[in-house]
């Protein structure tokens, strides 16, 4: 058995005239997969096909803008308040998932009000079905980037990451960390599990007929593991060390608590209300019904 894994994977899948990084590729694959799943869900329930494309734009913009602003305001406002022109430079790194989730929730409130004219829970219960896989793919990208790893460990599956990955890619000798918790893998496995659960809830059990149940379960399946894994995860910013010493939790855990509370409330609310009967025409409204022989 290995004492630990020496992780030397390159963040770049291809380096040439145009560089292709694993992180960006996983992001793109995740969004395309999510689009396909939501497309099938909307067709399954007979929702207008044009809603899918509009929803895709809302979510992509909200994810990028929200994740960036989440990092700026939740983690590093002391720097960005003095360097405002640096805020739009997403390509330099610095995204916070809590900010992305919050922005998506706000965007979907507008989407529900101005596009679907339905309860926000209608779209939330459906859009989260593929998101667990998207989140897992993004964590795989983090793994390839040698980032967001955990504290040192003597467990046999500890990873020794390259701490100077950018300098290493420019020809410097690698500087390896002590064997550390591969928290990217921990999170990815949890997100794959909640993806499977949400798919099962929607396609096998039709639990979208209990508004808020799938969305609430998703919130718990994402943010409870995130809260727990943070205990073995390195802080993102140095000032969080003092926060941990004082409060016992870091910024990521603090930001997870409202989402966990929302998940609990939604699950309890959904279970206490009667189930709604839905129709599943398996076609878009403009499609001609297929003739059965």
Most confident option among 28-32, 242-246, 266-270: 266-270
Average pLDDT over residues 228-241: 91
Handedness of CA 244, 246, 247, 251 (dihedral sign): negative
Query: Does a structural domain hold residue 281?
Result: no
Say what angle helices 213-229 and 183-199 make with each other, to 10 degrees.
170
Query: Does a structural domain hold residue 234?
Result: yes
Among 193, 227, 190, 197, CA closest to 214: 197
Query: Does a structural domain hold residue 286?
Result: no
Query: Does a structural domain hold residue 253?
Result: yes
Average pLDDT over residues 41-57: 95
| Side-chain-facing half-sphere of 251: CA atoms under 13 Å | 20
Q: In a 3-state reduction of DSSP, which class is residue 85?
A: helix
Query: Does a structural domain hold residue 193?
Result: yes
Query: Does a structural domain hold residue 35?
Result: yes
**pLDDT for residue 291:** 52
d(CA 108, CA 1): 48
Average pLDDT over residues 265-271: 97
- Indicate the pTM of the whole model: 0.92
Q: Where does the pLDDT of residue 293 fall: very low under 50, low under 70, confident under 90, or very high at 90 and above?
A: very low
**206-221, pLDDT tens digit by residue?**
999 999 999 999 999 9
Domain span including residue 240? 5-272
**Between residues 64 and 38, which one has the greater pLDDT?**
38
Query: Does a structural domain hold residue 143?
Result: yes
Based on the structure, what is the number of domains in the chain? 1
Query: Does a structural domain hold residue 293?
Result: no
Under 8 Å between Cβ of 232 and 142: no
d(CA 148, CA 139): 9
């Amino acid at each position: 058995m290995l004492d630990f894994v020496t992780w030397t994977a390159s963040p770049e899948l291809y380096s040439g005239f145009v560089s292709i990084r694993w992180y960006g590729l996983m992001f793109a694959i995740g969004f395309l997969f999510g689009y396909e799943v939501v497309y099938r869900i909307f067709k399954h329930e007979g929702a207008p096909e044009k809603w899918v494309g509009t929803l895709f734009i809302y979510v992509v913009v909200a994810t990028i803008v929200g994740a960036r602003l989440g990092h700026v305001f939740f983690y590093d406002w002391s720097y960005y308040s003095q360097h405002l022109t640096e805020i739009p430079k997403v390509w330099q790194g610095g995204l916070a998932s809590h900010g992305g989730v919050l922005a998506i929730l706000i965007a979907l409130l507008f989407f529900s009000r101005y596009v679907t004219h339905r309860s926000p829970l209608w779209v939330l219960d459906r859009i989260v079905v593929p998101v667990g896989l998207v989140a897992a793919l993004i964590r795989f990208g983090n793994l390839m980037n040698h980032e967001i790893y955990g504290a040192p460990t003597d467990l046999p599956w500890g990873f020794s990451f390259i701490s100077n990955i950018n300098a290493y890619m420019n020809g410097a000798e690698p500087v390896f960390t002590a064997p550390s918790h591969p928290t990217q893998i921990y999170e990815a496995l949890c997100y794959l599990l909640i993806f499977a659960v949400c798919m099962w809830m929607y396609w096998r059990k039709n639990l979208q007929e209990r508004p808020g149940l799938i969305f609430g379960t998703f919130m718990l399946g994402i943010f409870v593991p995130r809260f727990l894994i943070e205990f073995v995860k390195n802080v993102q910013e140095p000032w969080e060390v003092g926060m941990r010493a004082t409060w016992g939790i870091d910024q990521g855990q603090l930001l997870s608590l409202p989402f966990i509370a929302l998940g609990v409330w939604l699950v309890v609310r959904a279970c206490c209300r009667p189930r709604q009967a839905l129709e599943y025409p398996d076609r878009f409204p403009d499609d001609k019904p297929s003739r059965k022989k």
